[in-house]
Chains A and B, each alone.
Chain A
Amino acid sequence: MSETKVKNKPTRPIPNPIEPVNKGFWDACQGGVLHFQQCDGCHKFRHLPRNMCAYCGSPEWKWAPSTGKGKLFSWTIAHMPMHPAFVADVPYVAAIIEMEEGVRLVSWLRSVVLEDICLDMPVKLMYERITDDFQLPCFVPA
Chain B
Amino acid sequence: MGETLNFSEKASIVGIGETDYVKGAKVTAVEMMLEAGRKAIADAGLSPHDIDGLVPAPAYTTGEELAANLGIENLRYCSTVHMGGASPTTAIQNAAAMVSLGVCNNVLITLGWNGYSALRPKPGIPPTRPMGMNVLDTTIKDFYMPYGITSPVQMYSWFAMRHKKLYNVPDEATGHIAVAARKHAQLNDRAFMKGQELTMEQYLKARWISEPMRLNDCCLETDGACAVVISRTEEAKDMRKRPIVIMGCAEGHPYPADDIASRPDLFKFGLTYAAPIALKMAGIKVQDVDFLQIYDCFSYVVMLQMEALGLCERGGAYDFVKDGNIELGGRYPLNTHGGLMSQAHVWGLNHVVEAVKQLRHEGGLAQVKDCELGLVTGWGDLGDGSLVILRR
How far, in whole Å, are A77 and B266 apart by their CA atoms in the complex? 19
Contact (Cβ within 8 A) B158 A107:
no
Contact (Cβ within 8 A) B158 A79:
no
How far, in whole Å, are A119 and B211 apart by their CA atoms in the complex? 14
CB contacts (< 8 Å) of B157 on chain A: these are 76
Query: Nearest chain-B residue to A19 (Cβ)?
Result: B138
- The answer to the question of B240 belonging to the interface, with a C-beta cut-off of 8 Å to chain A, is no
How far, in whole Å, are A77 and B209 apart by their CA atoms in the complex? 9
- The answer to the question of A108 belonging to the interface, with a C-beta cut-off of 8 Å to chain B, is yes
Residue tally, chain B, CB below 8 Å to A: 37
CB contacts (< 8 Å) of A138 on chain B: these are 147
CB contacts (< 8 Å) of B149 on chain A: these are 78, 94, 106
Measured between C-beta atoms, what is the minimum distance from A105 to chain B in Å? 6
Centre residue among B143, B147, B165, B262 by max chain A CB count within 10 A? B147
A22-B262 contact in complex given A78-B154, A83-B150, A106-B147, C-beta closer than 8 Å: no
- The answer to the question of A12 belonging to the interface, with a C-beta cut-off of 8 Å to chain B, is yes
CB contacts (< 8 Å) of B146 on chain A: these are 12-15, 130, 136
Partner of B148, one of A26, A46, A48, A92: A92
Query: Nearest chain-A residue to B157 (Cβ)?
Result: A76
- The answer to the question of B260 belonging to the interface, with a C-beta cut-off of 8 Å to chain A, is yes
- The answer to the question of A104 belonging to the interface, with a C-beta cut-off of 8 Å to chain B, is yes
Centre residue among A14, A19, A79 by max chain B CB count within 10 A? A79
Partner of A15, one of B141, B161, B166: B141
Query: Nearest chain-A residue to B160 (Cβ)?
Result: A76
A82-B208 contact in complex given A74-B266, A106-B143, C-beta closer than 8 Å: no
Contact (Cβ within 8 A) B145 A83:
yes
Query: Nearest chain-A residue to B152 (Cβ)?
Result: A82
Contact (Cβ within 8 A) A48 B139:
yes
Measured between C-beta atoms, what is the minimum distance from A36 to chain B in Å? 11
Contact (Cβ within 8 A) B154 A105:
no
How far, in whole Å, are A75 and B159 apart by their CA atoms in the complex? 9
- The answer to the question of A28 belonging to the interface, with a C-beta cut-off of 8 Å to chain B, is no
Measured between C-beta atoms, what is the minimum distance from A133 to chain B in Å? 13
- The answer to the question of B207 belonging to the interface, with a C-beta cut-off of 8 Å to chain A, is yes
Contact (Cβ within 8 A) B211 A76:
yes
How far, in whole Å, are A117 and B145 apart by their CA atoms in the complex? 22
- The answer to the question of B210 belonging to the interface, with a C-beta cut-off of 8 Å to chain A, is yes
- The answer to the question of A118 belonging to the interface, with a C-beta cut-off of 8 Å to chain B, is yes
- The answer to the question of A100 belonging to the interface, with a C-beta cut-off of 8 Å to chain B, is no
Partner of A78, one of B141, B210, B256, B259: B210
Query: Which residues 61-111 of A sit at the B interface, judged by CB distance below 8 A?
Result: 73-83, 85-86, 89, 91-92, 94, 96, 103-108
CB contacts (< 8 Å) of A59 on chain B: these are none
A76-B145 contact in complex given A47-B262, A94-B154, A104-B262, C-beta closer than 8 Å: no
CB contacts (< 8 Å) of A77 on chain B: these are 208, 210-211
Contact (Cβ within 8 A) A79 B211:
yes
Contact (Cβ within 8 A) B148 A86:
yes
CB contacts (< 8 Å) of B212 on chain A: these are 76
- The answer to the question of B134 belonging to the interface, with a C-beta cut-off of 8 Å to chain A, is no
How far, in whole Å, are A92 and B149 apart by their CA atoms in the complex? 10
CB contacts (< 8 Å) of A75 on chain B: these are 158, 161
How far, in whole Å, are A101 and B213 apart by their CA atoms in the complex? 31
Query: Nearest 10 pairs between A and B by C-beta?
Result: A76-B157, A74-B162, A82-B151, A77-B211, A79-B208, A86-B148, A13-B145, A104-B261, A83-B150, A74-B158
A contacts, CB < 8 Å to B: 12-15, 17-19, 22, 26, 46-48, 54, 73-83, 85-86, 89, 91-92, 94, 96, 103-108, 118-119, 130, 136, 138
- Taking A80-B207, A92-B148, A136-B146 as known contacts, 12 extra A-B pairs with beta carbons closer than 8 A to each other, sorted by chain A number, are A73-B261, A75-B158, A75-B161, A79-B209, A82-B148, A91-B211, A94-B154, A96-B158, A105-B261, A106-B149, A106-B261, A130-B146
28 residue pairs bridging A and B, Cβ less than 8 Å apart? A13-B141, A14-B146, A47-B261, A48-B262, A73-B162, A75-B158, A76-B158, A76-B211, A77-B208, A78-B149, A78-B210, A79-B208, A79-B209, A82-B148, A82-B154, A83-B145, A85-B148, A89-B148, A91-B208, A91-B211, A92-B148, A94-B149, A104-B262, A105-B143, A106-B147, A106-B149, A108-B148, A136-B146
B contacts, CB < 8 Å to A: 138-139, 141-151, 153-154, 157-162, 165-166, 207-213, 256, 258-262, 266
